[in-house]
Structures are given as C-alpha cells and as structure tokens.
Amino acid sequence: MPQQTILVVDDEPDFITGFRRVLARDDLEILSAQSGEEALALVRQRRPDVIFMDLRMPGLDGLATLKRLREMDSRLIIILMTAYTTTSTIIEAMKHGAFEFVAKPFSGTKLREIAAEALKVANDMRTVVSYHPSANESESTEQIIGSSDAMQSVYKAIGQVAASNATILITGESGTGKELVARAIYHHSDRSTKPFIAVNCAAIHDNLLESELFGHEKGAFTGAAARKLGKFEVARNGTIFLDEIGDMALSTQTKILRVLQDGSFQRVGGTETLQADIRVIAATNRDLPRMIKEGTFRSDLYYRLNVVHIEMPPLSQRAEDIPLLVDYFLRRLQRETRRQCPSVSSAAMKVLQAYPWPGNVRELENVIRNLVLTVKSDTVLPSDLRLRGELAETAPPRGEFSAAAPSTQAFASRTPETSNDDADLIGGDAALDNCVFDSGVFRDIETAVEPLFDQLVDARDRGHKFSAFDVMERAMILHALNKVKGNQVQAARLLGITRSTLRKRIARYGLKIDTRVRG
C-alpha cells in the first residue's frame, strides 16, 4: 500500500506534537493545520486520506470547516475531536458527514484504532479496482486478475450490475477475492463519489454488530455513554459491504431485512425510525441454503440479498490464471520493495498450478511474498517453494498434497492413544528433551519457520502491532481444527496439548467452530 496521509487540525501545538508522536510510522505522513482556513487550503493542495479536526477553533470552527470540506469531496474521512461534547453537536456533525466523533482526552491506543479503521475505509474508496486488467494500470489501481472462462463470467456480471442499485450477493471460498469484486462494483457505479463502508460481520461480536451497523442511543447498554451513529448512517447515499454475512445473528438479520425492504431502521435503544438510501452488497463463504434448512439464516433475507448472485470460483478451478496472478504479484511487490524480484521457472510454475490452493488467491499472494523475501537467486526453482510449510521439491499430481504437514504427523505419532475421548487430558502436554530437538524432523521445521519469522518481523517493522507467538500459535490451532473438521479432542491430540488448553486458546483467539474453522 502506498504512503497514506493524515491531516490533524487543532489550534493547540502541544496536541499536534503528541498526535504526531503516537501515530509516527514510516508509511504514514502527518500534516498539520492550526485553523479551519489553513485546513481548507491544505486539503485543496494535498487531499489527505483522513482528517482529525478539533471542533472548537478560533475563526472557522470545526463544524463549519466540516461542511466546506464535504462540499469539496463527499468521500473525505473527517473525524471531529472535542472536550466539549453535547448530543446536539454530535448529531449536527454526523448529519454533515463526520466519520466519527471522539471526546478529548483519548488514549494513544484509541487514536491508533480509529486511525487504522479510517485509513482502511479511505483506501477502499480511493483505490480503484479494475476488472479489465492491464499492465499499464497506475500503481494506485488494484486489479482482479484472470482470463479463464470462470473469471470472464465474473467480469460480465460486474459490468451488468455496477450501474444499477440492485442488491448483490457474492459467494465463494475464503481468499477468492470477494471484497475486490464488491469494490469494483462500487468504483464503477453511480455511487462512486459517495462513501463505501465495509463491515466484517464475523469479526464483530454479535452483541456489538447491531450497534456497529445501526448505531445506538445514550444509555442503550452498559458503556453507551453517548449517542453513536452506525455505518448505515455514516454511509448515507453510498454503498455498504457486509462481508461474511453468514456469520450474522438472526436478530440482526431481521433488521437488515427491514433495511432492504423499505430502507428503515432504528438505533439500538431508540424509537425514532430512520431512513437509509444505501446500496447493499453482501458476501459469504458459507452455504446459505444449507443454513436456511438448519434455521440459522433467514430465507426471506437470502432472497432479498440474492437479487444478483456472483459466484467466485476457487483458484483450484482456474489453474490457467495462476501464471497471470504470479506475474501481477511479482510486479506489485517489485514496486513496493523497490528491488528486482526473481522470475519463476517453468518447473516451479507447474508445481504452483498443480497445488490445490485451499487458501485460494490470498494464499498464493502470501507464497509469492515469501519467495521475494527468501529467494536469493534470480530464478525461483521448485525446491524454493514452501506450500503449507512443505518443501515442494517435486510436482505431485493435483489432489495428492497431504492435508497435514510432516510436523503435524510427527507430533501425532508421539501422542499416546486414550480410551476416553471426552477426558480433559488428551495426549498430555508434549515433554520434549534436547535429543528430540536435535532430530532431523525438527531441524526441517526450524528451517521452514525461518521465512515465516522474517515475514512477521518485517510486518512489525512496518508498524503492525502483534505477538509473533500468537500469530504462529493461532495458525497451528486453525490448521489442526480444520484437519479434523472441528473435533477438539482430535485436534488437541494432534497438537500434543490438553483439551482444556485448546479450549482456552479457541476462546482467546475468538475462533468459530463448525465443519470448517474460521478466525
């Protein structure tokens, strides 16, 4: 992602200094202005991605400046800040298009969270998605890649529906590019100058999702200290993308149905009926017809969403697109890293085309990123490829890749069987002495972890905050649970930990268990 820009507008120099210190990152430029008039002039010159602006300033105050800025560009992400909050002020600010309203003082953690969300929304709105890929596209353009018959059908569907206001349901496995399709529809629609807001329904707890979408009134629940406007109000006249809608609770589904029927909704804890002129695009990797039969998804909502249906094909069904995708990712990484990337040999390409890609295009992109970081020669050979942590020294026929990496098999073979699958201790915590770590199996694992560790370190160096141990542990747990279709007893045995330990980790990482485990 190219460098993004935040403008902070405040008449207190000390506040601006603290703001810069908290958000300091190499990939983020922070501009400043000390008055509304200065902010207007600066926005005309630079068009920042996100604006944080104090409400009370001498001369042109924050609310008046907000109105002027929204006239310049209705897609500007503007967050108002003040130590003097009143309900009427918040309502007035939101009516004129403020993205968020935060009360001073606020913590550095709170500031980073708001900034991250706002920058993501700004990037989604400003980065055009092309579905007619060309090598001459600008660096700020993202592309949906593929020339296969399956992808040609997707392109036709985008072209047919983009200019309409029809509700769209995009289905397909995780990692196939459903959000890119949603953004392509938005960028080629008549609402492209209005907001585009994406909401990941699976990433927000059921108790909070309704408030996130529809807002809440002061006192609606514990912690609701002030009225908050939801995404349906923030995205007025624009497009809202409901990702992973299959994970939405039935109570929230009912409210979504009402919005689709007549455009009306109520804030949580409120009685006022509001209207929303919003185009809805939804996506899911789940089998909604099966969920309808099980009673976990409303049939009437399904038919309201499924006005236009776009099915994203898995990468395993369009292997002919893999060379195009590899070339696209290499060119993009070359621009990002500003260094020459290796080419992929024909033998390595055959391995890539034979691999089943359970993680689809997202997994392929991660593999290419790994190659750019780890391959020292000019050409990628089959022995350089690591697929699911394995060295792909040969190209096995399609469908013959083992679902478990050698490391998983090694742990499983050391775990004693138990006669009681419901016992809390399943296999016990593995106690490994030094002679085991000196074995060839573990030396191979240590070699395989090196590039993954380098990726994590690189991400942290770019300002992302996370625990490398948590990332690796979560990935191992996901892999084990998916391998045994969510059976926690068997997963604990594979991992060599107790069942109670596994339960704690599942709760810690917010994993959802069905026949396929999702983070």
Q: What tens digit of pLDDT does each residue of 221-256 get?
A: 887 777 778 899 888 889 999 999 999 999 999 999
**In-domain check, residue 105:** yes
Look at residue 140 in the predicted model and tell me its pLDDT: 61
| AA letter at 352 | L
At residue 490 the predicted structure's pLDDT band, cuts being 50, 70 and 90, is confident
CATH code assigned at 108? 3.40.50.2300
Residue that finishes a domain, picked among 391, 419, 437 = 391
User: What is residue 166's DSSP assignment?
Assistant: -
CB 126 within 8 A of CB 257: no
386 and 303 within one domain: no
At residue 300 the predicted structure's pLDDT band, cuts being 50, 70 and 90, is very high
496 and 377 within one domain: no
| Alpha carbon distance 14, 397 (integer Å) | 64
Residue whose tokens read 């009360």: 103
Look at residue 242 in the predicted model and tell me its pLDDT: 96
349 and 283 within one domain: no
More confident residue, 6 or 417: 6
251 and 385 within one domain: no
Residue that finishes a domain, picked among 110, 125, 140 = 125
Nearest CA-CA partner of 73 in 48, 105, 110: 48
CB 274 within 8 A of CB 215: no
Instruction: Inform me whether the pLDDT recorded for 444 exceeds 70.
Output: no
Instruction: Inform me whether the pLDDT recorded for 405 exceeds 80.
Output: no
Nearest CA-CA partner of 217 in 96, 91, 103: 91
* Span 309-325, pLDDT tens digits: 999 999 999 999 999 99
As a whole number, mean pLDDT of residues 40-68 equals 92
* Span 336-394, pLDDT tens digits: 888 888 999 999 999 999 999 999 999 999 999 989 888 888 899 998 888 865 445 44
* Span 116-162, pLDDT tens digits: 989 999 988 888 888 765 545 555 678 899 999 999 999 999 999 99
Q: Which backbone phi and psi does 178 adopt, to 5 degrees?
A: -65, -40
495 and 479 within one domain: yes
**In-domain check, residue 35:** yes
Instruction: Inform me whether the pLDDT recorded for 448 exceeds 80.
Output: no
Question: Model pTM?
Answer: 0.67
Cis amide prior to 314 (ω within 30 degrees) = no
**In-domain check, residue 400:** no
Neighbours of 416 (CB within 10 A): 8
Look at residue 139 in the predicted model and tell me its pLDDT: 58
**In-domain check, residue 399:** no
253 and 358 within one domain: no
At residue 35 the predicted structure's pLDDT band, cuts being 50, 70 and 90, is very high
| Alpha carbon distance 62, 60 (integer Å) | 7
| Alpha carbon distance 503, 212 (integer Å) | 28
Instruction: Inform me whether the pLDDT recorded for 10 exceeds 60.
Output: yes
Q: Supply the DSSP string of 288-313, one letter for each residue.
A: HHHHHHHTSS-HHHHHHHTTEEEEPP
**In-domain check, residue 175:** yes
SS3 251: helix
Look at residue 349 in the predicted model and tell me its pLDDT: 95
Residue that finishes a domain, picked among 265, 292, 313 = 313
SS3 477: helix
31 and 171 within one domain: no
Look at residue 88 in the predicted model and tell me its pLDDT: 67
Nearest CA-CA partner of 226 in 109, 107, 101: 101
Mean pLDDT check: name the lowest of 98-102, 281-285, 346-350.
98-102
412 and 480 within one domain: yes
SS3 42: helix
CATH code assigned at 326? 1.10.8.60
**In-domain check, residue 514:** no
**In-domain check, residue 274:** yes
* Span 163-173, pLDDT tens digits: 999 999 999 99
Mean pLDDT check: name the lowest of 17-21, 58-62, 68-72, 455-459.
455-459
Instruction: Inform me whether the pLDDT recorded for 406 exceeds 50.
Output: no
Look at residue 218 in the predicted model and tell me its pLDDT: 81
306 and 192 within one domain: yes
**In-domain check, residue 150:** yes
As a whole number, mean pLDDT of residues 448-476 equals 77
134 and 120 within one domain: no
| AA letter at 469 | F
Find the domain containing 346 and state its range. 316-391
What total of structural domains would you count in the chain? 4
| Alpha carbon distance 233, 275 (integer Å) | 9
Cα dist. 516→157, 179, 402, 506, 513 in Å? 29, 20, 17, 14, 7
More confident residue, 461 or 396: 461
148 and 186 within one domain: yes
437 and 377 within one domain: no
